[in-house]
Homo-oligomer: A and B are copies of this chain.
Amino acid sequence: MIRFECDYAEGAHENILKRLLETNLEQTPGYGLDDHCETARELIRKACNAPQAEVQFLVGGTQANTVMIASTLRPHQGAVAAWTGHIAVHETGAIEASGHKVLTLPSENGKLTAAQVRTVYNEHWNDTAHEHMVQPGLVYISQPTENGTIYSKAELEELSAACRELGLPLLLDGARLGYGLAAPGSDLSLADVARLCDMFYIGGTKVGALFGEAVVIMNKKLQKDFRYHIKQRGGMLAKGRLLGIQFETLFTDGLYEQISRHAVEQALRIRRAFSDKGIALRYDSPTNQQFPILSDDAVKALGGKYTFSIREKYDESHAVVRFCTSWATQSDQVDRLIEDIAALRQERP
């Protein structure tokens, strides 16, 4: 079986393992106060063109989202998110467990628009019973989204302008940020993301690291006491240098971009193979997740050799499935998949 069901099926990029070995017996202070973390912070600040940013390292995405959101909101506020947002669907109510409602908005492609944010804000404040309802307290987006789609620079500029005008911090979940930045046609740089968001994280777990997410806090007000929140939510790694070493490595010599590009290239090869076969893609994703609409026969045929995830039923005899590539995806594995796609019985969804 060749695994395309997620982007965390393997360990870490070899450079990272090498550095972990080299530094293994160094003695450092704990909790992210070591030199590796400091160097990694500096590298990230540079990549973000954000010398005043605070950078903190957490182990995983649910943790990062919970700490970012719970440290930003007051108790009566909620997080505005697309109904497909990871925090709304796949975190077992972690945000609610911290006391906050996720205020979901419909979204066909996984993205929110500035207009939607303005509407939800205005509806809240125009309602005479607004204090009987959860107050919108921040906007949460993912780049790329859970559907593989990406915000353009213009879209993010607009969203950011709306958020700033309304006083709503804009938080970005970058679990797969590398794959978004590497998407062909993406006109957003890491510095743009930093400039336009109040807080975001750069995903490591899905982009070359064993684990780890780098939270970048641009908004001065949100920087205050952030490390208390990390500790309180169980996110402060004793051997914090493990996170520093990994991000140091990812942000040296362009490794993060390079491996992100690789994953996207492989994903687009798979996408082309489906398209060539006349198999439609559910979302227009230029990133490492692809969502073909497969007949049950095709699911069965490919399911014998490859793992992928069933996302939703499409109609009586078709399903939307997800194929993921990653930094670790091997070209020859994709070759084989492409061959098998080409050999599928012709069909039309």
Given contacts A89-B133, A227-B131, A239-B210, contact A94 B233 (CB under 8 A): yes
Query: With A and B bound together, what is the CA distance between A2 and B27 in angstroms?
Result: 8
Of chain B, the residue at the smallest CB distance from A67 is: B234
Q: What B residues does A25 contact at CB under 8 A?
A: 10-11, 328
Of A70-78, A267-275, A278-286, A295-303, the one contacting chain B is A70-78
Q: What B residues does A93 contact at CB under 8 A?
A: 76, 78, 99-101, 134, 232
**Is A289 interfacial (CB-CB < 8 Å)?**
no
Of chain B, the residue at the smallest CB distance from A99 is: B97
| Chain A window 211-238, contacts with chain B (Cβ cutoff 8 Å), 1 for yes, 0 for no | 1000000000000010111011111111
**Is A96 interfacial (CB-CB < 8 Å)?**
yes
> Is there an interface contact between A234 and B8, defined as CB atoms closer than 8 Å?
no
Query: With A and B bound together, what is the CA distance between A231 and B86 in angstroms?
Result: 13
| Chain A window 302-330, contacts with chain B (Cβ cutoff 8 Å), 1 for yes, 0 for no | 00000100000000000000000000100
Query: With A and B bound together, what is the CA distance between A181 and B135 in angstroms?
Result: 35
**Is A66 interfacial (CB-CB < 8 Å)?**
yes
Q: What B residues does A237 contact at CB under 8 A?
A: 59-60, 211
Q: What B residues does A307 contact at CB under 8 A?
A: 29
**Is A160 interfacial (CB-CB < 8 Å)?**
no
Given contacts A9-B27, A101-B96, contact A76 B131 (CB under 8 A): no
Shortest CB-to-CB span from A10 to chain B, Å, is 5
> Is there an interface contact between A211 and B238, defined as CB atoms closer than 8 Å?
yes
> Is there an interface contact between B99 and A62, defined as CB atoms closer than 8 Å?
no
**Is chain A's interface secondary structure helix, strand, loop, or mixed overall?**
loop
Shortest CB-to-CB span from A205 to chain B, Å, is 5
> Is there an interface contact between A21 and B17, defined as CB atoms closer than 8 Å?
yes
Most buried by B among A60, A62, A239: A239
Query: With A and B bound together, what is the CA distance between A29 and B67 in angstroms?
Result: 26
Given contacts A93-B134, A96-B134, contact A76 B225 (CB under 8 A): yes
Q: What B residues does A91 contact at CB under 8 A?
A: 132, 231-232
Query: With A and B bound together, what is the CA distance between A328 and B25 in angstroms?
Result: 8
Q: What B residues does A90 contact at CB under 8 A?
A: 129, 132-133
Neighbour of A235 across the interface among B99, B100, B234, B236, CB < 8 A? B234
Most buried by B among A93, A210, A233: A93
Neighbour of A239 across the interface among B8, B20, B94, CB < 8 A? B8
Could you list 8 examples of A-B contacts with CB < 8 Å? A6-B30, A20-B210, A75-B98, A91-B231, A94-B233, A135-B225, A206-B238, A210-B239
Chain A residues packing against B (C-beta within 8 Å): 1-3, 5-6, 8-12, 14, 17, 20-21, 23-30, 59-63, 66-67, 70-71, 74-76, 78, 89-94, 96-102, 129, 131-135, 205-206, 210-211, 225, 227-229, 231-239, 242, 307, 328
12 extra A-B contacts, CB within 8 A, seeds A10-B27, A11-B26: A8-B238, A11-B24, A63-B235, A75-B229, A76-B93, A76-B225, A92-B134, A98-B99, A205-B238, A206-B238, A210-B239, A211-B242
Interface pairs A-B: 9 shortest CB-CB: A63-B234, A11-B24, A76-B228, A92-B232, A93-B134, A3-B27, A92-B231, A8-B238, A96-B101
